[in-house]
């Protein structure tokens, strides 16, 4: 073989190697871009105190500064029987307040293909989740009945177990049936939604206490960016059906005596419990733009961390909160002074 032929072969090899390197680099760039791709919110469903049962109604409630905190409704429990202003009183709550939904016992099971008997054994939080998720999909212009078989994910924050506590408190377990175990399981809350709609993406129930809904949205964004799902339902649900939670948080001195959260105020003495369900429909921004979806907002970045060892298991850790905010800003590639 002549020297010129060897030179040509060497050049060909170098060119092929360069092309291969460029392809690898392109894949790496695409992977890095996917990790940071903005996530579009294309639909919202909600049920909040004060009759805020749709996004516009919720916006109007916030705009008008409506105070939805009331005394505990009599249909929940006898507030006088469990109230004592003395925070050291055993078995009592020193607060009478909360923000409550109406008609949480109302549900049309047959609309979702559920028998009335099974519906009785379902935690009302599961029922509410089905309704609000359906509304969110309709708000997003997505026909729920046409999503069967789709790689749609479900991520829901859920912490309360009041319904099962109520059933056990009666002491009569003779009415416990085969539906009860699935009806009160947090894992089934998302699983049932995926089952009813035929969704085949990830289906995860999250319990990280007060941050459950935010963590659910973070996980949904991560799942979308990793290609595990093409669309996601994310949010949270909470109902207060028993005095137990108010009693335990009173013993921990977590509740505000006057039922008001005085955020960033030196007079702050705790928080007030509230109910609600909120779900958002998410897509990768590029997919939402391609599909012509109505983009309501864009999530640029999210982050999650943990306090680790701090000055108390449930005590806020300012440094840890600063760190997670910094991580979220970095993930979004946004400077603090750009946030308004």
**Structure tokens, 132:** 């609000």
* Paired sense of beta strands 152-157 and 97-98, if any: unpaired
Which of 113, 82, 134, 84 lies closest to 245, judged by CA?
A: 82
Res 176: pLDDT: 80
Q: Break the chain into its structural domains and give their ranges.
A: 37-68+103-240+275-299, 305-340
Please report the pLDDT score of residue 17 as a whole number: 79
What's the alpha-carbon Rg for the chain, to the nearest Å?
A: 25
How does DSSP classify residue 117? H
Backbone angle region of 268, left / alpha / beta, with phi > 0 → left and psi within -120 to 50 → alpha: beta
Paired with 157 in beta bridges are 206, 236
Q: Compute the 3-state secondary structure of the chain and give helix, strand, coil in percent, each to the nearest 5.
A: 45, 15, 40
**Tokens at 154, concatenated:** 């479900």
Ranges of beta strands (E only) in the chain are: 39-47, 70-71, 97-98, 152-157, 203-206, 231-238, 276-284, 297-299
Whole-number pLDDT of residue 4: 60
| Bridge partners of residue 279, in order along the sequence | 45, 235
**For the packed helices 162-169 and 244-251, what is the interaxial angle rounded to 10 degrees?**
110
Token pair for residue 22?
């460029």
Cβ atoms of 238 and 275 closer than 8 Å: yes
Please give the model's pTM, rounded to 2 decimal places: 0.89
pLDDT, tens digit only, all 340 positions of the chain? 556 666 667 778 778 877 877 777 776 666 666 678 999 999 999 999 999 999 999 999 999 999 999 999 999 999 999 999 999 999 999 999 999 999 999 999 999 999 999 999 999 999 999 999 999 999 999 999 999 999 999 999 999 999 998 888 877 677 788 899 999 999 999 999 999 999 999 999 999 999 999 999 999 999 999 999 999 999 999 999 999 999 999 999 999 999 999 989 999 999 999 999 999 999 999 999 999 999 999 999 999 999 888 888 888 888 999 999 999 999 999 999 998 7
User: Residues near 186 by Cβ (< 8 Å), separated by ≥ 6?
Assistant: 158, 161, 205, 207
Using CA atoms, how far apart are residues 109 and 117, in angstroms rounded to an integer?
A: 9
| Interatomic CA distance for residues 130 and 112, integer angstroms | 8
**What b/e sequence results for 252-269 when a residue is b if at least 16 CB atoms lie within 10 Å of its CB, and e otherwise?**
eeebbbebbeeeeeeeee
Report the C-alpha gap between 192 and 202 in whole angstroms.
13
Counted residue by residue, the chain has a size of: 340
Q: What is the CATH number of domain 37-68+103-240+275-299?
A: 3.40.47.10
């Amino acid at each position: 073989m002549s020297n010129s032929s060897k030179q040509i072969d060497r050049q060909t090899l170098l060119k092929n190697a360069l092309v291969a390197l460029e392809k690898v680099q392109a894949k790496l760039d695409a992977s890095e871009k996917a990790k940071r791709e903005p996530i579009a919110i294309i639909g919202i469903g909600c049920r909040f105190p004060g009759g805020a049962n749709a996004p516009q109604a919720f916006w109007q409630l916030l705009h008008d500064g409506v105070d939805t905190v009331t005394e505990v409704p009599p249909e929940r429990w006898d507030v006088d029987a469990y109230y004592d202003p003395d925070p050291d009183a055993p078995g009592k709550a020193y607060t009478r307040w909360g923000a409550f939904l109406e008609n949480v016992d109302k549900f049309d099971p047959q609309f979702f293909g559920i028998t009335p008997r099974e519906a009785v054994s379902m935690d009302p939080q599961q029922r509410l989740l089905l309704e609000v998720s359906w509304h969110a999909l309709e708000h997003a212009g997505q026909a729920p009945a046409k999503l069967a078989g789709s790689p749609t994910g479900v991520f829901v924050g859920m912490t309360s177990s009041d319904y099962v506590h109520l059933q056990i408190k009666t002491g009569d377990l003779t009415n416990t049936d085969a539906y009860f175990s699935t009806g009160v399981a947090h894992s089934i809350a998302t699983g049932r939604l995926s089952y009813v709609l035929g969704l085949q993406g990830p289906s995860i129930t999250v319990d990280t206490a007060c941050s459950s809904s935010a963590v659910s949205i973070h996980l949904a964004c991560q799942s979308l960016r990793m290609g595990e799902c093409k669309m996601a339902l994310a949010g949270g649900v909470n109902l207060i059906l028993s005095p137990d939670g108010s009693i335990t948080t009173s013993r921990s001195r977590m509740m505000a005596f006057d039922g008001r959260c005085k955020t960033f105020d030196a007079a702050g003495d705790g928080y007030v419990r509230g109910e609600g369900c909120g779900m958002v429909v998410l897509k990768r921004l590029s997919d939402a733009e391609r599909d012509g979806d109505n983009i309501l907002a864009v999530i640029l970045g999210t982050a999650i961390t943990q306090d680790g060892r701090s000055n108390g298991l449930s005590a806020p850790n300012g440094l840890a909160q600063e760190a997670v905010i910094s991580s979220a800003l970095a993930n979004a590639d946004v400077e603090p002074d750009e946030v308004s």
